[in-house]
Amino acid sequence: MAATRRVMRAVRVFEFGGPEVLKLQSDVLVPVAKENQVLIKVHACGVNPVETYIRSGTYARKPALPYTPGSDVSGVIESVGEHVTAFKKGDRVFTLETVSGGYAEYAVAAANRVFPLPDKLDFRQGAALGVPYFTAYRALFQKGCAKAGESVLVHGASGGVGLAACQIARACGLKVLGTAGTEEGMNVILRNGAHQAFNHRDPNYIERIKECTGPEGVDIIIEMLSNVNLDADLQLLARTGRVMVVGCRGRVEINPRDTMSKESSIIGVSLFLATEEERQECATVLLDGIEAGWLKPIVGLEYPLEKVSKAHEDIICSSGARGKMVLLL
Interhelix angle 226-236/205-213, nearest 10 degrees? 30
Q: What is the CATH number of the domain that holds 246?
A: 3.40.50.720
Amino acid at 254: I
Distance CA(40)–CA(106), nearest Å, equals: 6
Q: Is the pLDDT of residue 3 over 80?
A: no
Provide, rounded to the nearest whole percent, the portion of the chain with pLDDT above 70. 98
Tell if the pTM clears 0.85, that is, is over it.
yes
- Per-residue model confidence as pLDDT tens digits over 54-107: 999 998 889 999 999 999 999 999 999 999 999 999 999 999 999 999 999 999
Q: Are residues 156 and 263 in the same domain?
A: yes
Confidence of residue 2 (pLDDT cuts 50, 70, 90): low
Confidence of residue 249 (pLDDT cuts 50, 70, 90): confident
Q: Are residues 112 and 34 in the same domain?
A: yes
Q: Are residues 165 and 53 in the same domain?
A: no
Q: Is the pLDDT of residue 5 over 90?
A: no
Q: For position 1, what pLDDT does the model report?
A: 47
Q: Are residues 261 and 176 in the same domain?
A: yes
Distance CA(193)–CA(294), nearest Å, equals: 9
Which among 327, 299, 298 is positioned nearest to 311, based on CA atoms? 327
Q: Are residues 319 and 213 in the same domain?
A: no
Q: Are residues 176 and 263 in the same domain?
A: yes
119 within a domain of the structure (yes/no): yes
| CA Rg value for the chain | 20
First to last CA, the chain: 32
Q: Are residues 163 and 91 in the same domain?
A: no
290 within a domain of the structure (yes/no): no
Which among 75, 63, 128, 70 is positioned nearest to 102, based on CA atoms? 70
Q: Are 148 and 173 in contact (CB under 8 A)?
A: yes
Q: Are 296 and 125 in contact (CB under 8 A)?
A: yes
Distance CA(77)–CA(87), nearest Å, equals: 8
In the chain, the number of structural domains is 2
Structural domain containing residue 221: 132-272
Q: For position 297, what pLDDT does the model report?
A: 97
Q: What DSSP element (H or E) covers 183?
A: helix 183-191
- Per-residue model confidence as pLDDT tens digits over 207-247: 999 999 999 999 999 999 999 899 999 999 999 999 999 99
Q: How far is CA 139 from the centre of its chain?
A: 11
Last residue of a domain, one of 272, 287, 306: 272
Q: For position 318, what pLDDT does the model report?
A: 75
247 within a domain of the structure (yes/no): yes
17 within a domain of the structure (yes/no): yes
Q: Are residues 110 and 161 in the same domain?
A: no
